Structure 1
Amino acid sequence: MNFENLDVWKRSARLSADIYKATAELRDFGFRDQLTRSGLSVPSNIAEGMSRDSSKEKRRFLDIARSSLSEARTQIYIGIDICYIQKDLGVKWLAETRELHAMLNSLKKTLV
């Protein structure tokens, strides 16, 4: 299965790029770095996992991607609270992380 054809990979890569663009001017480098890293980890782990041979390894990397989504979601909540992320944009990103999480769960179930 080619990861580049997966909607979950495409959408998570788009979210990661959106996070990078939206936080490019943020001067809190620690926060920005943590958020961009967790966002970047999602499509990266999907790609790495789906390139593995065994279903067990694929599922493990999808679990890592889900964990990174949870990390990013936490940082988005905090970013909204401390006014680093505009509320409407943050709410959009939060909804996307929830949908991506569900998509990863579904994909994981197909790997027997």
Structure 2
Amino acid sequence: MTMLTTQNLVILLVGLADGEFDFQLKDVTIVIDGYTRFSAEEELFIESIQDRVARFVIGTYSDDNSLTAGSETIYISTSQMIGRFRSKFPVELRKMAFSLS
């Protein structure tokens, strides 16, 4: 497994910006599930690739209270991520129902 170094990330981001991977990515769906704390580099990668793929999905859990201003729940990092991403990307929130029965 090769580690993604800062130099490799820069090369990848330049290639994305130049459209080098557009053909390969046009039908790709990227799913990140259960992760809410992204580094600056990871957010830059998301910003660079999200509009070049068919779909970009981040699945996470939150409750209704955590999405209101001033909420202090265990899902605060999810709420903060959603707030940051709403200001940068087209965000579509979807509620998923589940049952424990």
Structure scoring higher RCO (CA < 8 A, sep ≥ 6) equals 1
Q: TM-score, normalised by structure 1?
A: 0.28
Q: TM-score, normalised by structure 2?
A: 0.30
